[in-house]
């Protein structure tokens, strides 16, 4: 769980030369609220979902991609290290990540979770639910940038069941399930998943409805959803991006959503004042080409942190 050492190019002292690797400190050394990076080193959910494993190495690759990025505004950044899923015990790992996220939130930090397969969704939600308070009355909305609904019904949790688990937990507590997805691939989701989404009242846009030409329509969709809730959990599954932009994922997208559109959505949510947690899922470094998936993911994380800090 100890955070790794951050290294990178050092251009000189002073804020004008600041890069991520010089700004990040271990979370135990925190002396004021900031952004807490928490790794979730897991691909057990992907394995159970019969996907291509390798996302367990995602957090390390994301840190390497973040380290050299220049910071153009002061940022308080901490690293809590990784929660690792070992020996196939996904459920224990998810519970541990939930506790780590909740603890960070209770100390006033904004959690950014570095996955890991999209089984991180249930774990992030556990932490967020606890961090917001077990008797919370504030409304929670889940906004997923993803080619898939991840509403599968399986005997055990997988990377494809997380949002159904959230739906069932919210409903069991008498809370409405507020879930929106942008980037859905029609050919990547069976009819039963579309029907389940409809029954659960899920709002969604397909990848073809998220073209750059339709950007204002996409942002209207996002703004309306964000305005309908008090707190937002934003999750980025990197397989929402086109395969030529993000090849390092378990299920590369044949079409996907352009990074400019994804970035605009992220900027909008980060600047809303309602973002409570952000996570990134499905980076598989073993399948990446020239680190391009990790680099685009790092840019998105940087956008969340800097835009949220600027609000």
Classify residue 82 by its DSSP letter.
E
For residues 204 and 181, the answer to whether their CB atoms sit within 8 Å is: yes
* pLDDT, tens digit (0-9, with 9 covering 90-100), for 34-74: 999 999 999 999 999 999 999 999 999 999 999 999 998 88
Give percent of the chain with pLDDT exceeding 90.
90
For residues 58 and 115, the answer to whether their CB atoms sit within 8 Å is: yes
Q: What stretch of H or E contains 220?
A: helix 215-227
Q: Is the pLDDT of residue 2 over 90?
A: no
For residues 189 and 151, the answer to whether their CB atoms sit within 8 Å is: no
Q: Give me the domains of the chain, ranges plus CATH numbers.
A: 15-309 (3.40.800.10)
What's the pTM value of the predicted model, to 2 decimals? Answer: 0.97
For residues 170 and 179, the answer to whether their CB atoms sit within 8 Å is: no
For residues 147 and 184, the answer to whether their CB atoms sit within 8 Å is: yes
Angle of the 259-270 helix axis to the 215-227 helix axis, nearest 10:
30
Mean pLDDT of the chain: 95
Q: Is the pLDDT of residue 216 over 70?
A: yes
Beginning with the edge strand found earlier in the chain, give each strand of the sheet holding 110-115 in spatial order.
24-26, 77-84, 35-41, 110-115, 275-281, 231-237, 140-145, 179-184, 203-206
Q: Is the pLDDT of residue 153 over 90?
A: yes
Helix, strand, or coil (residue 23): helix
How much is the average pLDDT of 138-156? Answer: 97
In angstroms, rounded to a whole number, what is the distance separating the alpha carbons of residues 155 and 185? 24
In angstroms, rounded to a whole number, what is the distance separating the alpha carbons of residues 197 and 219? 21
């Amino acid at each position: 769980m100890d955070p790794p050492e951050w290294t990178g190019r050092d251009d000189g002292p002073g804020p004008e030369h600041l890069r991520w690797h010089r700004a990040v400190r271990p979370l135990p050394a925190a002396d004021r609220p900031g952004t807490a990076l928490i790794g979730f080193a897991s691909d057990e959910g992907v394995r159970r979902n019969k996907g291509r494993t390798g996302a367990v190495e995602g957090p390390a690759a994301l840190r390497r991609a973040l380290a050299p990025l220049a910071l153009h505004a002061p940022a308080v950044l901490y690293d809590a290290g990784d929660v690792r899923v070992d020996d196939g015990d996904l459920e224990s790992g998810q519970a541990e990540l939930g506790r780590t996220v909740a603890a960070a939130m209770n100390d006033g930090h904004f959690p950014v979770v570095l996955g890991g397969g999209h089984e991180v969704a249930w774990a992030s939600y556990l932490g967020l639910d606890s961090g917001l308070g077990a008797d919370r009355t504030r409304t929670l909305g889940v906004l997923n940038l993803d080619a898939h609904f991840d509403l599968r019904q399986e005997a055990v949790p997988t990377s494809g069941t997380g949002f159904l688990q959230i739906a069932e937990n919210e409903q069991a507590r008498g809370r409405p399930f507020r879930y929106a997805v942008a980037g859905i691939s029609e050919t990547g989701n069976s009819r039963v998943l579309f029907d389940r989404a409809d029954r659960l009242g899920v709002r969604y846009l397909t990848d073809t409805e998220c073209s750059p030409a339709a950007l204002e329509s996409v942002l209207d969709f996002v703004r309306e959803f964000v305005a309908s809730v008090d707190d937002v959990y934003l999750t980025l599954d990197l397989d929402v991006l086109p395969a030529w932009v993000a090849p390092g994922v378990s299920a590369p997208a044949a079409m996907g959503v352009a990074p400019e559109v994804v970035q605009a959505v992220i900027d909008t949510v980060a600047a809303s004042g309602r973002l409570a947690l952000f996570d990134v899922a499905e980076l598989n470094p073993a399948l990446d080409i020239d680190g391009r998936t990790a680099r685009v993911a790092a840019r998105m994380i940087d956008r969340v942190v800097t835009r949220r800090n600027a609000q």
